[in-house]
Amino acid sequence: MTGPEKQDRPLGGRWSRRGVLGGLLGAPVLFVAACTDSKGGSAPSGPSGGADSSGGPTAGSGSAGSSPKTSVAKIAVFPVTGTTDASFSQPVKVTVADGTLTSVVLADLAGTAIPGRLAADGASWTSTGQLRSGTRYTVAVAAVDRAGLEAVANTGFATATPASTFVGYFTPEDGSTVGVGMPVSIRFNKVITDRAAVQEAITVVAEPGVEIVGHWFNSTRLDFRPQQYWASGTKVTLKLRLKDVEGAKGVFGTQSKDVTFTIGRSQTSVADLAADTLTVTTDGRVTASYPIIGGAPDHRTWGGKLVISEQFQQTKMDSATVGLGDEYNIPDVPHAQRLTTSGTFIHGNYWSPASQFGHANTSHGCISLRDVQGGTDPNTNAAKFYSSSLIGDVVEVVNSGDKTVDPANGLNGWNMTWAQWKAGSAL
């Protein structure tokens, strides 16, 4: 048989062209075994003389007056049998001296085979895929020497469990329904230095299909979005395949899961701080217009496209938490919806005079709508806007007099051009 013909034989007596990555530790163990006697018959195995206690062949006894023949093929498997901390990022290797490999089967204890590649000369086999950490594997090997005598080896090893791991905390939640401006945002609990490896292990797909690109804001945050807002009704799936991906030296991922969410009705709003109005458009039709209060001249509201990232029926707002000293401390702000990480909200307001709504900008940077204390009246403007909103809806602020919000401040990557967004991809 020629070298290429051998290479095409799949596992278990036939060869596969594919493979797996596995760990290699220690020195090789050599196996020599005979399987035929001088008459070519199968030699019986026995408790003594075996090269491998896990089931390797033993030298058989020939007929009277003849000597048993033993294969001179010597098989070596890396990592060696009994290894308990093999690397899962290096390939498994099998070699044979004075012979040719005829079968290699690498599998986990559930029986899942790991494919590999046979060298053209039949003298070695290398896995070419990915082993999993903390997993036990077996390797069954057969080879023949030039006389056609067979040698076999059966070994086992376990891969190491990483000492240091990382996870990605994602938004939105699995099974949620969100607005058209909702990006997929992943924050890692460890610094990622191999951004390409991590991004390659994360896929975001949409039905109907659309191009989706990842953008790194920093070494711990990766967001995904399409060029334009999502279409209403789109089903989006985040596929995390981070298990055993090395995000930084010696730091490996642990997650392998899918997260699916749905884009709801299309709703965007425009907050015009010159006219002090909030205009709501739902599925292409203006559905509401509310008088509002925006940021005062010394605390102007960020401009640009701001995505609702959190919703609270009621929350506390303390100026000390945003670097404004003791200017305000309101324990029960109703119908609050977060627009930036730094503390910009669109929320209900029961403390300002009714005459200010639609006529004055007096806030510390938030946008407010008329409400009642406790938020118990569903007919207030703040309550109606809150009940019509989803996490992921976009509120675009115009004529605020301030600069455009930093795209990394909240889920606000829509304030980057498509070219700028794609430039932040590691792939």
Look up the pTM and report it. 0.78
Over residues 169-197, the mean pLDDT reads: 98
* Dist. CA 29–CA 394, nearest whole Å: 64
DSSP secondary structure letter of residue 4 = H
Order of strands, sheet of 150-158, starting from the edge strand that comes earlier in the sequence: 113-114, 100-108, 136-144, 150-158
Q: Catalytic residues, which ones?
A: 347, 366
pLDDT digits (tens, 9 = 90+) for 286-313: 999 999 999 999 999 999 999 999 999 9
Tell me, rounded to whole angstroms, the distance of Cα 354 from its chain centroid. Answer: 49
Q: Give the dihedral sign, CA 307/310/315/318.
A: negative
Q: What is the pLDDT of residue 22?
A: 34
pLDDT digits (tens, 9 = 90+) for 370-387: 999 999 999 999 999 999
Cβ neighbours for 413, distance < 8 A, ≥ 6 positions apart: 183, 215, 217, 223, 225, 407, 421
* Dist. CA 212–CA 206, nearest whole Å: 8
pLDDT digits (tens, 9 = 90+) for 230-279: 999 999 999 999 999 999 999 999 999 999 999 999 999 999 999 999 99
| Residue with token string 């292990």 | 201
* Dist. CA 117–CA 283, nearest whole Å: 55
Share of the chain above pLDDT 70, in %: 84
Cβ pair 18, 110 in contact under 8 A: no
Cβ pair 395, 269 in contact under 8 A: yes
Cβ pair 3, 118 in contact under 8 A: no
Q: Give the dihedral sign, CA 106/107/111/117.
A: negative
Report residue 410: phi and psi, to 5°.
Answer: 95, -160
Q: What is the pLDDT of residue 67?
A: 65
Q: What is the pLDDT of residue 57?
A: 43
The DSSP bridge pattern shows strands 136-144 and 150-158 to be: antiparallel
Q: What is the pLDDT of residue 45?
A: 34
Q: Comparing 411 with 327, which gets the higher pLDDT?
A: 411
Greatest mean pLDDT among 45-59, 200-214, 313-327? 200-214
